Amino acid sequence: MKPCEPPTPSPTADFPARLIAWQKTHGRHDLPWQHGEPYGVWVSEIMLQQTQVQTVIGYYGRFMARFPTLAALADAEEAAVMEVWSGLGYYARARNLHRAAREVMTRFGGRFPSAVEDIESLPGIGRSTAAAIASFCFGAQEPILDGNVKRVFARVFGIDGFPGIRAVELRMWALASELMPACDGAIYTQALMDLGATVCTRSRPRCDACPVGTACVARASGRQRELPAPRPAKVRPQRLRFALLLLSRGQILLERRPGHGIWGGLLSLPELAAQTPSDAVIEAARWLATRGLMAGEPETMTPVIHGFTHFELHLVPLRLRIPAPAPIAGETALQWLPLTDAHDAALPAPVRRLLGRTDIE
Protein backbone atom coordinates (compact mmCIF):
# COMPACT_ATOMS: atom_id res chain seq x y z
CA MET A 1 0.00 0.00 0.00
CA LYS A 2 1.27 3.47 -0.89
CA PRO A 3 2.67 5.28 2.19
CA CYS A 4 0.82 8.43 3.21
CA GLU A 5 2.58 11.75 2.76
CA PRO A 6 1.46 15.11 4.10
CA PRO A 7 -0.86 16.69 1.52
CA THR A 8 0.12 19.88 -0.25
CA PRO A 9 -1.75 22.74 1.45
CA SER A 10 -4.76 23.71 -0.65
CA PRO A 11 -8.53 24.04 -0.09
CA THR A 12 -9.25 20.56 -1.44
CA ALA A 13 -6.33 18.84 0.29
CA ASP A 14 -7.08 20.46 3.64
CA PHE A 15 -10.65 19.12 3.68
CA PRO A 16 -9.79 15.37 3.58
CA ALA A 17 -6.80 15.87 5.88
CA ARG A 18 -8.99 17.46 8.56
CA LEU A 19 -11.60 14.72 8.24
CA ILE A 20 -9.07 11.91 8.46
CA ALA A 21 -7.53 13.38 11.61
CA TRP A 22 -10.97 13.94 13.12
CA GLN A 23 -12.22 10.44 12.35
CA LYS A 24 -9.33 8.74 14.10
CA THR A 25 -10.32 10.44 17.36
CA HIS A 26 -14.02 11.26 17.09
CA GLY A 27 -15.41 8.90 14.44
CA ARG A 28 -17.35 5.70 14.96
CA HIS A 29 -15.20 2.60 15.44
CA ASP A 30 -17.52 0.07 17.09
CA LEU A 31 -20.29 -0.53 14.56
CA PRO A 32 -20.93 -4.30 14.26
CA TRP A 33 -20.02 -4.46 10.56
CA GLN A 34 -16.80 -2.49 10.75
CA HIS A 35 -13.55 -4.37 10.14
CA GLY A 36 -15.53 -7.40 8.97
CA GLU A 37 -15.64 -9.56 5.88
CA PRO A 38 -16.96 -8.12 2.58
CA TYR A 39 -20.23 -10.04 2.99
CA GLY A 40 -21.13 -8.32 6.26
CA VAL A 41 -20.03 -4.90 5.01
CA TRP A 42 -22.15 -5.35 1.89
CA VAL A 43 -25.23 -6.35 3.91
CA SER A 44 -24.79 -3.31 6.15
CA GLU A 45 -24.39 -0.91 3.22
CA ILE A 46 -27.62 -2.15 1.65
CA MET A 47 -29.49 -1.88 4.96
CA LEU A 48 -28.13 1.63 5.51
CA GLN A 49 -29.61 2.88 2.26
CA GLN A 50 -32.31 5.35 3.41
CA THR A 51 -32.24 3.90 6.95
CA GLN A 52 -30.51 5.23 10.07
CA VAL A 53 -27.75 3.33 11.83
CA GLN A 54 -29.63 2.83 15.09
CA THR A 55 -32.50 1.18 13.24
CA VAL A 56 -30.17 -1.01 11.18
CA ILE A 57 -28.09 -2.40 14.06
CA GLY A 58 -30.82 -4.70 15.41
CA TYR A 59 -31.86 -5.92 11.96
CA TYR A 60 -28.25 -6.49 10.98
CA GLY A 61 -27.64 -8.73 13.97
CA ARG A 62 -30.73 -10.83 13.30
CA PHE A 63 -29.99 -11.06 9.58
CA MET A 64 -26.41 -12.21 10.09
CA ALA A 65 -27.50 -14.73 12.71
CA ARG A 66 -29.99 -16.21 10.23
CA PHE A 67 -27.69 -15.98 7.18
CA PRO A 68 -24.13 -15.99 8.56
CA THR A 69 -22.45 -16.47 5.17
CA LEU A 70 -23.02 -15.39 1.60
CA ALA A 71 -23.63 -19.01 0.65
CA ALA A 72 -26.31 -19.32 3.34
CA LEU A 73 -28.09 -16.26 1.96
CA ALA A 74 -27.88 -17.56 -1.60
CA ASP A 75 -29.31 -20.95 -0.55
CA ALA A 76 -32.22 -19.41 1.36
CA GLU A 77 -35.76 -19.10 0.04
CA GLU A 78 -36.84 -15.56 -0.74
CA ALA A 79 -39.69 -15.83 1.76
CA ALA A 80 -37.19 -16.48 4.56
CA VAL A 81 -35.14 -13.42 3.57
CA MET A 82 -38.25 -11.23 3.49
CA GLU A 83 -39.30 -12.52 6.90
CA VAL A 84 -36.05 -11.40 8.53
CA TRP A 85 -36.18 -8.08 6.64
CA SER A 86 -39.81 -7.41 7.60
CA GLY A 87 -40.25 -3.99 9.17
CA LEU A 88 -37.08 -2.48 7.73
CA GLY A 89 -38.91 -1.20 4.65
CA TYR A 90 -37.82 -0.61 1.05
CA TYR A 91 -38.21 -4.33 0.38
CA ALA A 92 -36.65 -4.22 -3.06
CA ARG A 93 -33.34 -4.00 -1.16
CA ALA A 94 -33.91 -7.44 0.34
CA ARG A 95 -34.91 -8.99 -2.97
CA ASN A 96 -31.87 -7.48 -4.69
CA LEU A 97 -29.61 -8.63 -1.86
CA HIS A 98 -30.87 -12.17 -2.31
CA ARG A 99 -30.47 -12.04 -6.09
CA ALA A 100 -26.99 -10.58 -5.77
CA ALA A 101 -25.92 -13.35 -3.39
CA ARG A 102 -26.91 -15.93 -5.98
CA GLU A 103 -25.09 -14.02 -8.70
CA VAL A 104 -21.92 -13.92 -6.61
CA MET A 105 -22.13 -17.70 -6.26
CA THR A 106 -22.59 -18.26 -9.99
CA ARG A 107 -20.54 -15.43 -11.53
CA PHE A 108 -17.72 -15.09 -9.02
CA GLY A 109 -17.45 -18.57 -7.58
CA GLY A 110 -18.82 -17.56 -4.19
CA ARG A 111 -16.16 -14.87 -3.55
CA PHE A 112 -17.41 -11.32 -3.25
CA PRO A 113 -15.81 -9.32 -6.10
CA SER A 114 -13.16 -6.72 -5.31
CA ALA A 115 -13.33 -4.54 -8.44
CA VAL A 116 -15.68 -1.57 -8.21
CA GLU A 117 -17.11 -2.31 -11.66
CA ASP A 118 -17.95 -5.89 -10.68
CA ILE A 119 -19.49 -4.82 -7.38
CA GLU A 120 -21.65 -2.21 -9.10
CA SER A 121 -22.84 -4.81 -11.62
CA LEU A 122 -24.68 -6.69 -8.85
CA PRO A 123 -28.41 -6.04 -8.28
CA GLY A 124 -29.22 -3.20 -5.90
CA ILE A 125 -25.70 -1.72 -5.81
CA GLY A 126 -25.10 1.74 -7.22
CA ARG A 127 -21.94 3.73 -7.73
CA SER A 128 -21.66 5.09 -4.19
CA THR A 129 -22.42 1.81 -2.45
CA ALA A 130 -19.94 -0.06 -4.68
CA ALA A 131 -17.25 2.51 -3.89
CA ALA A 132 -17.89 2.27 -0.14
CA ILE A 133 -17.63 -1.53 -0.16
CA ALA A 134 -14.47 -1.45 -2.30
CA SER A 135 -12.95 1.17 -0.02
CA PHE A 136 -13.71 -0.56 3.27
CA CYS A 137 -12.91 -4.08 2.14
CA PHE A 138 -10.33 -3.83 -0.62
CA GLY A 139 -8.48 -0.55 -0.10
CA ALA A 140 -9.91 1.19 -3.17
CA GLN A 141 -9.57 4.97 -3.46
CA GLU A 142 -13.04 5.62 -4.83
CA PRO A 143 -15.35 8.57 -3.99
CA ILE A 144 -18.78 8.07 -2.46
CA LEU A 145 -21.86 10.30 -2.57
CA ASP A 146 -24.67 9.15 -0.28
CA GLY A 147 -27.25 11.36 1.42
CA ASN A 148 -24.98 12.31 4.30
CA VAL A 149 -22.14 13.28 1.98
CA LYS A 150 -24.44 15.39 -0.19
CA ARG A 151 -25.53 17.32 2.90
CA VAL A 152 -21.92 17.89 4.00
CA PHE A 153 -20.85 19.05 0.54
CA ALA A 154 -23.86 21.35 0.12
CA ARG A 155 -23.16 23.10 3.42
CA VAL A 156 -19.37 23.19 3.48
CA PHE A 157 -19.00 24.30 -0.15
CA GLY A 158 -22.24 26.29 -0.45
CA ILE A 159 -23.79 24.23 -3.24
CA ASP A 160 -27.30 25.42 -4.07
CA GLY A 161 -30.04 23.33 -5.64
CA PHE A 162 -31.72 20.07 -4.67
CA PRO A 163 -29.06 17.29 -4.74
CA GLY A 164 -31.48 14.98 -6.52
CA ILE A 165 -31.37 17.20 -9.61
CA ARG A 166 -29.00 15.66 -12.13
CA ALA A 167 -26.90 18.80 -12.68
CA VAL A 168 -26.38 19.31 -8.94
CA GLU A 169 -25.56 15.65 -8.41
CA LEU A 170 -22.98 15.69 -11.21
CA ARG A 171 -21.34 18.74 -9.66
CA MET A 172 -21.14 16.92 -6.34
CA TRP A 173 -19.66 13.80 -7.97
CA ALA A 174 -16.98 15.95 -9.55
CA LEU A 175 -16.22 17.49 -6.17
CA ALA A 176 -16.17 14.06 -4.51
CA SER A 177 -13.60 12.86 -7.05
CA GLU A 178 -11.49 16.01 -6.61
CA LEU A 179 -11.48 15.69 -2.81
CA MET A 180 -10.64 11.97 -2.74
CA PRO A 181 -7.20 11.61 -1.08
CA ALA A 182 -4.44 9.47 -2.57
CA CYS A 183 -4.33 7.29 0.55
CA ASP A 184 -6.32 6.55 3.71
CA GLY A 185 -9.41 6.22 1.51
CA ALA A 186 -11.28 3.98 3.93
CA ILE A 187 -10.69 6.35 6.86
CA TYR A 188 -11.75 9.35 4.79
CA THR A 189 -14.86 7.58 3.52
CA GLN A 190 -15.87 6.59 7.05
CA ALA A 191 -15.17 10.15 8.20
CA LEU A 192 -17.56 11.57 5.61
CA MET A 193 -20.28 9.15 6.72
CA ASP A 194 -19.65 9.83 10.41
CA LEU A 195 -19.57 13.60 9.95
CA GLY A 196 -22.94 13.61 8.22
CA ALA A 197 -24.51 11.15 10.64
CA THR A 198 -23.28 12.59 13.95
CA VAL A 199 -22.29 16.26 13.41
CA CYS A 200 -23.61 17.73 10.16
CA THR A 201 -27.08 16.33 10.79
CA ARG A 202 -30.24 17.30 8.95
CA SER A 203 -31.58 19.28 11.90
CA ARG A 204 -29.60 20.90 14.71
CA PRO A 205 -26.11 20.39 13.24
CA ARG A 206 -23.31 20.53 15.82
CA CYS A 207 -21.26 23.14 14.02
CA ASP A 208 -18.97 23.75 17.01
CA ALA A 209 -17.81 20.11 16.81
CA CYS A 210 -17.21 20.13 13.06
CA PRO A 211 -13.59 19.64 11.93
CA VAL A 212 -14.22 21.80 8.84
CA GLY A 213 -16.59 24.28 10.46
CA THR A 214 -14.24 27.22 10.09
CA ALA A 215 -14.30 26.77 6.31
CA CYS A 216 -18.04 26.01 6.01
CA VAL A 217 -19.98 28.35 3.71
CA ALA A 218 -23.33 27.53 5.32
CA ARG A 219 -22.05 28.24 8.82
CA ALA A 220 -20.42 31.50 7.80
CA SER A 221 -23.60 32.72 6.13
CA GLY A 222 -26.08 31.21 8.59
CA ARG A 223 -27.60 28.94 5.92
CA GLN A 224 -27.44 25.59 7.71
CA ARG A 225 -31.23 25.23 7.50
CA GLU A 226 -31.34 26.18 3.83
CA LEU A 227 -28.67 23.78 2.62
CA PRO A 228 -28.99 21.34 1.10
CA ALA A 229 -32.01 22.67 -0.77
CA PRO A 230 -35.15 20.60 -0.12
CA ARG A 231 -36.90 18.53 -2.73
CA PRO A 232 -39.16 20.78 -4.83
CA ALA A 233 -42.65 20.79 -3.34
CA LYS A 234 -44.99 18.34 -4.97
CA VAL A 235 -48.40 17.19 -3.81
CA ARG A 236 -48.41 13.41 -3.44
CA PRO A 237 -51.50 11.84 -5.02
CA GLN A 238 -53.67 9.59 -2.88
CA ARG A 239 -54.39 5.99 -3.87
CA LEU A 240 -57.34 4.16 -2.40
CA ARG A 241 -57.06 0.38 -1.98
CA PHE A 242 -59.51 -2.07 -0.43
CA ALA A 243 -58.34 -5.28 1.23
CA LEU A 244 -59.94 -8.27 2.94
CA LEU A 245 -59.37 -8.82 6.64
CA LEU A 246 -60.57 -12.43 6.94
CA LEU A 247 -60.66 -13.78 10.49
CA SER A 248 -61.53 -17.22 11.78
CA ARG A 249 -61.04 -18.63 15.28
CA GLY A 250 -58.01 -16.52 16.07
CA GLN A 251 -56.47 -16.89 12.61
CA ILE A 252 -56.11 -14.52 9.68
CA LEU A 253 -55.95 -15.24 5.96
CA LEU A 254 -52.88 -13.74 4.29
CA GLU A 255 -51.70 -13.75 0.71
CA ARG A 256 -48.12 -14.03 -0.53
CA ARG A 257 -47.60 -11.19 -2.99
CA PRO A 258 -45.70 -11.71 -6.27
CA GLY A 259 -41.94 -11.26 -6.10
CA HIS A 260 -41.97 -7.92 -7.95
CA GLY A 261 -43.47 -4.51 -7.29
CA ILE A 262 -44.37 -2.85 -4.01
CA TRP A 263 -44.28 -5.34 -1.12
CA GLY A 264 -43.06 -8.04 -3.48
CA GLY A 265 -42.62 -11.37 -1.72
CA LEU A 266 -44.32 -10.24 1.51
CA LEU A 267 -47.45 -11.58 3.13
CA SER A 268 -50.32 -9.12 2.97
CA LEU A 269 -54.09 -8.86 2.99
CA PRO A 270 -55.82 -9.98 -0.21
CA GLU A 271 -56.60 -6.83 -2.21
CA LEU A 272 -59.79 -6.15 -4.11
CA ALA A 273 -60.10 -4.70 -7.60
CA ALA A 274 -62.47 -1.94 -6.53
CA GLN A 275 -62.53 1.86 -6.66
CA THR A 276 -65.42 2.66 -4.33
CA PRO A 277 -66.75 1.23 -1.03
CA SER A 278 -69.85 -0.16 -2.71
CA ASP A 279 -67.79 -1.83 -5.43
CA ALA A 280 -65.53 -3.26 -2.73
CA VAL A 281 -68.47 -4.96 -1.00
CA ILE A 282 -69.58 -6.52 -4.28
CA GLU A 283 -66.04 -7.59 -5.14
CA ALA A 284 -65.57 -9.09 -1.67
CA ALA A 285 -68.66 -11.28 -2.15
CA ARG A 286 -67.39 -12.39 -5.56
CA TRP A 287 -63.91 -13.11 -4.15
CA LEU A 288 -65.36 -15.30 -1.39
CA ALA A 289 -67.77 -17.12 -3.68
CA THR A 290 -65.10 -18.13 -6.19
CA ARG A 291 -63.12 -19.71 -3.34
CA GLY A 292 -66.03 -21.44 -1.68
CA LEU A 293 -65.93 -19.34 1.47
CA MET A 294 -68.93 -18.24 3.48
CA ALA A 295 -68.96 -15.11 5.62
CA GLY A 296 -71.29 -12.52 7.07
CA GLU A 297 -71.61 -8.93 5.97
CA PRO A 298 -68.29 -7.12 5.62
CA GLU A 299 -67.45 -4.33 8.08
CA THR A 300 -65.61 -1.38 6.61
CA MET A 301 -62.86 -0.35 9.02
CA THR A 302 -60.89 2.85 9.47
CA PRO A 303 -58.26 3.18 6.71
CA VAL A 304 -54.56 2.72 7.32
CA ILE A 305 -52.60 5.60 5.77
CA HIS A 306 -49.05 4.98 4.60
CA GLY A 307 -46.78 7.39 2.77
CA PHE A 308 -44.60 6.31 -0.14
CA THR A 309 -42.17 8.56 -1.99
CA HIS A 310 -44.54 9.29 -4.85
CA PHE A 311 -48.00 8.70 -3.39
CA GLU A 312 -50.00 8.27 -0.21
CA LEU A 313 -51.77 4.96 0.24
CA HIS A 314 -55.17 4.75 1.97
CA LEU A 315 -55.73 1.05 2.67
CA VAL A 316 -59.33 0.30 3.67
CA PRO A 317 -59.82 -3.10 5.35
CA LEU A 318 -63.12 -4.99 4.98
CA ARG A 319 -63.42 -7.30 7.97
CA LEU A 320 -65.24 -10.61 7.52
CA ARG A 321 -65.50 -13.61 9.79
CA ILE A 322 -65.21 -17.15 8.43
CA PRO A 323 -66.70 -20.06 10.45
CA ALA A 324 -63.61 -22.31 10.05
CA PRO A 325 -60.12 -21.64 8.59
CA ALA A 326 -60.31 -24.36 5.92
CA PRO A 327 -57.58 -24.64 3.24
CA ILE A 328 -58.44 -23.09 -0.12
CA ALA A 329 -57.89 -25.50 -2.99
CA GLY A 330 -55.64 -24.27 -5.77
CA GLU A 331 -54.65 -21.08 -3.95
CA THR A 332 -51.06 -21.69 -2.94
CA ALA A 333 -50.45 -17.99 -2.25
CA LEU A 334 -53.13 -17.94 0.46
CA GLN A 335 -52.46 -19.22 3.96
CA TRP A 336 -54.10 -19.08 7.37
CA LEU A 337 -51.87 -17.83 10.14
CA PRO A 338 -52.58 -17.43 13.87
CA LEU A 339 -52.96 -13.76 14.70
CA THR A 340 -50.39 -14.20 17.46
CA ASP A 341 -47.83 -15.35 14.85
CA ALA A 342 -48.78 -12.82 12.19
CA HIS A 343 -47.04 -10.00 14.06
CA ASP A 344 -43.69 -11.72 13.42
CA ALA A 345 -44.39 -12.56 9.77
CA ALA A 346 -42.98 -10.72 6.75
CA LEU A 347 -45.68 -8.05 6.53
CA PRO A 348 -45.75 -4.58 4.97
CA ALA A 349 -45.56 -1.81 7.56
CA PRO A 350 -49.19 -0.61 7.19
CA VAL A 351 -50.54 -4.16 7.52
CA ARG A 352 -48.42 -4.68 10.63
CA ARG A 353 -49.83 -1.46 12.10
CA LEU A 354 -53.36 -2.60 11.27
CA LEU A 355 -52.91 -5.94 13.04
CA GLY A 356 -51.62 -4.08 16.07
CA ARG A 357 -54.82 -2.07 16.44
CA THR A 358 -57.21 -2.84 19.25
CA ASP A 359 -60.27 -2.94 16.99
CA ILE A 360 -59.11 -5.91 14.88
CA GLU A 361 -61.06 -8.60 16.69
Residues annotated catalytic, as ranges: 45
Q: For residue 139, how far is the Cα from the chain centroid?
A: 26
Half-sphere exposure of 139 (CA within 13 A, CB side): 4
Q: Which of 79, 125, 84 is nearest to 264 (CA)?
A: 79
Separation CA 100–CA 318 (nearest Å): 38
Sign of the torsion formed by the C-alpha atoms of 78, 79, 83 and 89: positive
Separation of alpha carbons 141 and 45, rounded Å: 17
Complete DSSP assignment for 41-73: HHHHHHHTTTS-HHHHHHHHHHHHHHS-SHHHH
Cα angle, residue 95 at apex, residues 92 and 97 outer, rounded to 5°: 105
Write down how long the chain is: 361
